[in-house]
Amino acid sequence: MRQSFTASATGRNPRRQARGVRTRDAILRKAVDIASARGLEGLTVGTLAKSLGMSKSGLFGHFGSKEELQLATVDAARQIFIDLVIKPALTAPKGMPRLWRLVDLWIAHVENHVFSGGCFFTAASFEFDSRRGPVRDRIASVMREWMGTLTRAVHGAQKEGHISTTVDPAGLAQELQSYALGAHWATQLLEDRAAYAGARVLALQRLRSFATSNSPRVG
Amino acid sequence: MRQSFTASATGRNPRRQARGVRTRDAILRKAVDIASARGLEGLTVGTLAKSLGMSKSGLFGHFGSKEELQLATVDAARQIFIDLVIKPALTAPKGMPRLWRLVDLWIAHVENHVFSGGCFFTAASFEFDSRRGPVRDRIASVMREWMGTLTRAVHGAQKEGHISTTVDPAGLAQELQSYALGAHWATQLLEDRAAYAGARVLALQRLRSFATSNSPRVG
DNA sequence: CCTACCGATCGGTAGG
DNA sequence: CCTACCGATCGGTAGG
């Protein structure tokens, strides 16, 4: 039976396990960064190993296949997105402020160059949108999770009485997501320096146009 | 000096030249299709040659390098976009109808599966937005050309008195582009079957909200 | 975690 | 347009 270094490290030696996990985490942090710029196919075992000063096979042992490396990279990127966007947004008050925070932090984490290639999931989405298989399915699943979070935030703003109940939550979520995607595209490809600011203004205008008189002012 | 088959065919034999050009066109039509699904890096000389029943080097002679093949593929995709989106939209009356036709046909050409991977330029945009070099520059140039066309269409609708002069043309163009990008994303990755219809409804709502009482009704 | 491999494929070339 | 190559790199394995 195949045994990766990490898998065998789940045994009795906690110090060795800790080191294995730390190495794996370091590999994946680098992997997300490379994949954000070069794509999940452009992320090769050889270049990843060299950039970490490891041997190819030493790195390979943590994953067992290229596909498993890609899946682990998607999971690592998801965790970073949760830590940098979702969790901080949950500290904002329920309703309109929290919804706006989600959009604002989505844009901010790309703007602040958390990864050298911009947004990992935007790149991965368009790279795998015509493929089949577990990697595409994992990316789509994380993005459905994200759209669900955005949609629930719209619904939450309605429950707080901040947004008109005539608004379709999934529709507004898709609209907000489109502004962020469009701004990412215009910034990264066209080098339009006003695109993120423009997307924020547009999103705020739209949110305010749906706001009730009860809603706190955001932005 | 390097001489490609096509280059040498620019000589005195028109029949040979015609055949060379036809072969090249057939190669590029296939290349755009493959690149729309697998990316411009995933487009390899070997797979492209095999899918056309040619030898690698027979195909290679038309271009001289992978980069030249990629550049020619971008140019071929641009011509298809002009033929399927820009030219038909110019048959619509100036002003609001023509602006709406541009957005509608952009969405339609993806919806109608002109290419197996959806929109070539959307895929190419996100694949190359973190790279440098002539291929990225060519993609960005075509997309700036497209945004210029959209922006001029907004401006034209203002000149016809169909859209309020308080609207920023480049801003509205970016907004419309975002709806199309977002719909492409939701359709191709999330398999959201309502996304294109939703983008059309949203774009129409926004256009009507900026419309003067002079404007013909579109959609 | 390493060295030392494997077959397949990559972009590209020589020579016809 | 072809066959027959080239070195480099791909994902992956054997054995320690």
For A177-206, the pLDDT digits (tens) are 999 999 999 999 999 999 999 999 999 999
- Token output for B184: 């492409």
- Token output for A106: 């989505």
CA distances to A20, A58, A147, A162, B129 from A172, rounded to whole Å, are 43, 47, 10, 14, 27
- Cβ <8 Å between B126 and A190: no
pLDDT at A12 over 50: no
Residue in chain B lying closest to A195 (CA): B174
Question: Cα(A88)–Cα(A82) distance, rounded to whole angstroms?
Answer: 9
- Closest nucleotide to B9: CA versus each C1': D1
pLDDT at B4 over 90: no
- Closest nucleotide to B62: CA versus each C1': D1
pLDDT at B10 over 70: no
pLDDT recorded at residue A2? 34
Question: Cα(B124)–Cα(B70) distance, rounded to whole angstroms?
Answer: 10
Question: Cα(A148)–Cα(A143) distance, rounded to whole angstroms?
Answer: 8
**Residue of B37, B128, B186 lying closest to A174 (CB–CB):** B186
Q: Which bases on strand C have an atom closer than 7 Å to a protein beta carbon? A: 1-5, 9-15
How far away is chain A from the Cα of B33, in angstroms, using its nearest Cα?
A: 12
pLDDT recorded at residue A29? 95
B163 SS3 class: strand
- Token output for B89: 């939209």
For B26-70, the pLDDT digits (tens) are 999 999 999 999 999 999 999 999 999 999 999 999 999 999 999
For residue A106, the Cα-to-chain-centroid distance in whole angstroms is 8
Confidence of residue B116 (pLDDT cuts 50, 70, 90): confident
- B216 beta carbon to strand C: under 7 Å: no
CA atom of A146 to C1′ atom of C5, Å: 44
Are A27 and A20 spatial neighbours (Cβ–Cβ below 8 Å)? no
For residue A35, the Cα-to-chain-centroid distance in whole angstroms is 12
pTM above 0.85, yes or no: yes
Chain B residues touching A38 at Cβ < 8 A: 130
* Range with the poorest average pLDDT among A164-168, A171-175, B11-15, B40-44: B11-15
How much is the mean pLDDT over chain A?
A: 92
Ramachandran region, residue B133 (left: φ > 0; alpha: ψ -120 to 50; beta: rest): left
CA atom of B2 to C1′ atom of D5, Å: 19
For A117-163, the pLDDT digits (tens) are 889 999 999 999 999 999 999 999 999 999 999 999 999 999 999 99
pLDDT recorded at residue A19? 72
